[in-house]
Structure 1
Amino acid sequence: MLSMIIMEVCAVLLLVLGLFLKKGKGLMLLAGYNTMSKEERDLIDKRELSKAAGNLMFRAALALALLGLTIYFKLSWGTIILMVILIADPIILSVRMSAKMPKTTSRGGIIVALVFTAVTFIFVGGLLFYGEKEPVVKISDNQIRIAGMYGLSVDFSDISSISLIEKSVADLGAGRRTNGYGGFSESLKGHFDSPDLGKVLLFVKSGASPTLWIERESQEDIYLSFKDGEKTKSLYQELKGVVPVK
């Protein structure tokens, strides 16, 4: 809910900014334009620039508003599509507007802003993709390897018990995130502090059940679940067959 509220508030702010830009106000807020000399700015069609920038803010406001809804309703593909739109739209507009500028106009500021925006959105998009990806669990002769965000290796000697709980982590109570990831599609990864479970390490889809519980001797207990409950059950059976629990 908090993510949706933040997105909707940002959408409203972008809508207001778009209205100002459409009226020819606030052009100095635009990267590239604000670094030009007065002579260079005089060569630009400010009316066209205001219209283009204002329309960009309107489209971004709509995309952010929809993004808040896709995050809230856990529509992963919708979220990815909207992220692509938010990345591509300003880049396309910057290239188009830069091509229309007089050759005497400095384009360095626009290029820097373009690169910075692209890198920022690519980083955020990559982080979301990596965080939402389900962990890959590999079992060797003497340890379990959980690959992915906050992944680790767990020696068999550190495992005291393995259980399958017929509840989701949402039912058990994930608690407060202390050093972890909480994504838009029920993905919880990393370190959490739960009033009921204590300090735990999660690799779960919070609404998915059952949940695999790996109790450890010296570190936080691990809770793991996949979106497909049958996959979680299969992993449990595989671990029960190879891990010599105490």
Structure 2
Amino acid sequence: MNEKLALIMINGIIAVPMLLLAFYLYKGKGGFLIAGYNTLPEEEKAKYDEPALCRFVGKNMFVLAGLMVVWTIAEIFEILWLLIAGIALFVGVVVFMIIYLNTGNRFRKS
């Protein structure tokens, strides 16, 4: 039982800040938190729609935090297939985000 409690605490320590950051990003703020974007020079940043970029990342962070809750539930009730599915979806969402953000100039200003 102590292992399950430790797991809940660890996932909570990670998932709660992720949710808070997701809310902040979803409001269109926090571009400085997005890796790659925050290192661009100001003239390059001006070419991007920062609020849209932040909202996209925020929405996906909600999904990632939710999947962490799925992991916790899977571990508590010892449902291996749910844990594997949650991890696979987590990796899939991250890969989707990387591809979506880096192709198609979707977040460039017109």
Q: Superposition pairs for residues 225-236 of structure 1, below 5 Å? A: none
Q: Superposition pairs for residues 47-86 of structure 1, below 5 Å? A: 47-86=51-90
Q: Superposition pairs for residues 79-228 of structure 1, below 5 Å? A: 79-101=83-105
More helix by share: 2
Pairwise CA distance, 1:9: 2.9
- Indicate conservation of the 8 Å contact 2:28/2:52, yes or no: no
SS at 1:17's partner residue? helix
| Residue 24 of structure 2, aligned match among 20, 27, 45 | 20
1:40 aligns with 2:41: no
**CA offsets, 1:130-155, max 9 Å, x none?**
xxxxxxxxxxxxxxxxxxxxxxxxxx
| CA RMSD after TM alignment | 1.5
- 1:100 and 1:28 map into 2 onto residues whose CA distance is 22
More strand by share: 1
Q: Give the ranges of 4+ consecutive aligned residues of structure 1 lying more than 4 Å apart after TM superposition.
A: none
Bigger shift: residues 70-79 or 23-32: 23-32
Pairwise CA distance, 1:25: 2.3
**TM-score, with normalisation over the residues of structure 2?**
0.84
SS at 2:28's partner residue? coil
- 1:71 and 1:30 map into 2 onto residues whose CA distance is 30
- 2:31 and 2:75 map into 1 onto residues whose CA distance is 32
**Which protein is bigger by CA-based radius of gyration?**
1
- 1:27 and 1:3 map into 2 onto residues whose CA distance is 31
- Indicate conservation of the 8 Å contact 1:14/1:57, yes or no: yes
Q: Which runs of 5+ in 2 are unaligned?
A: none
Percent of aligned pairs with the same residue? 26
**TM-score, with normalisation over the residues of structure 1?**
0.39
Q: Which runs of 5+ in 1 are unaligned?
A: 103-246
- 1:42 and 1:101 map into 2 onto residues whose CA distance is 14
- 2:17 and 2:91 map into 1 onto residues whose CA distance is 18
Pairwise CA distance, 1:29: 1.5
SS at 1:35's partner residue? coil
- Indicate conservation of the 8 Å contact 2:31/2:54, yes or no: yes
Which has the bigger relative contact order, CA under 8 A and spacing at least 6?
Answer: 2
- Indicate conservation of the 8 Å contact 1:24/1:50, yes or no: yes
Paired positions, count = 102
- 2:40 and 2:83 map into 1 onto residues whose CA distance is 36
